[in-house]
Amino acid sequence: EGLPTPAWRQVHSADETRAAFKALGSPMIIKPVREGSTIGLTKVIAIEQCDAAYALASGQDPMVMCEQFIAGDEVTIPVLGTGAQARALPVIRIVAPDGNYDYQHKYFTDDTQYLVPCGLPDGEEAAIQALAVKAYRVLGCRGWGRADLMLRERDRKPFLLEMNTSPGMTGHSLVPMSAQASAG
C-alpha cells in the first residue's frame, strides 16, 4: 500500500538471520512477528549476536523478522473508529532512558517520559496522524488501535513499526493518556 516501513526480511533460521544482517546492516532489530511489548526483541549490532537473537525471538513465535534499525524519535498514535470515520488522537512522543524503550521501561519504571502534546511541529504531527489512520484503514482495523512509528533522525521521515490492535490497559498505557489530552 506504499506505507513506509523499515527495510525487513522474514527469516526461518539463524542462517537466514545472519544473511539478513549482511543485507540490512547494523544495527538491526530481530523480533517475533506476533508478539508485543518488545518481548523477544533484540537490537543486534554484530553478526555474532544473530544466533542468540533468533533463538530468543523464535522461542516466542515461529514467525521471526529482521528489520533495519531506525534511529530517531519514537512516537505512538491512537486511532479510534472504523473505515472513513476513523480518526487519530494526539501523538505521544516517547523518551526512554538511553533510547531503550524495553519491557522494563514500558511497564515497571517511571523513567520514561510520555510527551503529549508531543512537541513536534504541527505539520509533522498532522502528517504522522494521517499515516497512522491510513495504516489502520488498510489493515481493516476497527474500534481502536495504536500505531507505533519512528521518525528518522536525519530527515524526519516516519516509518511504521507496527499497529497494535489490542493495546494494553495498564497504569502506563498510552491510549488513555492520548484520549485524556484530546479531551482536555
Cell (9 digits) for 108: 515497571
- pLDDT, one tens digit per residue, over 104-134 is 445 556 677 777 888 898 799 999 999 999 9
pLDDT above 70: percentage of residues in the chain: 82
Residue 105's pLDDT is 45
* Short-list 164, 133, 125, CA closest to 146: 164
pTM across the whole model? 0.83
Residue 172's pLDDT is 56
Residue 28's pLDDT is 97
* Short-list 115, 21, 7, CA closest to 67: 7
Task: To the nearest 10°, report the CA torsion of 85, 89, 95, 96.
Answer: -60
pLDDT band at 75 (very low <50, low <70, confident <90, very high): very high
User: How far apart are alpha carbons 29 and 60 in whole angstroms?
Assistant: 15
User: How far apart are alpha carbons 97 and 106 in whole angstroms?
Assistant: 11
Strand partners, 122: none
pLDDT above 90: percentage of residues in the chain: 67
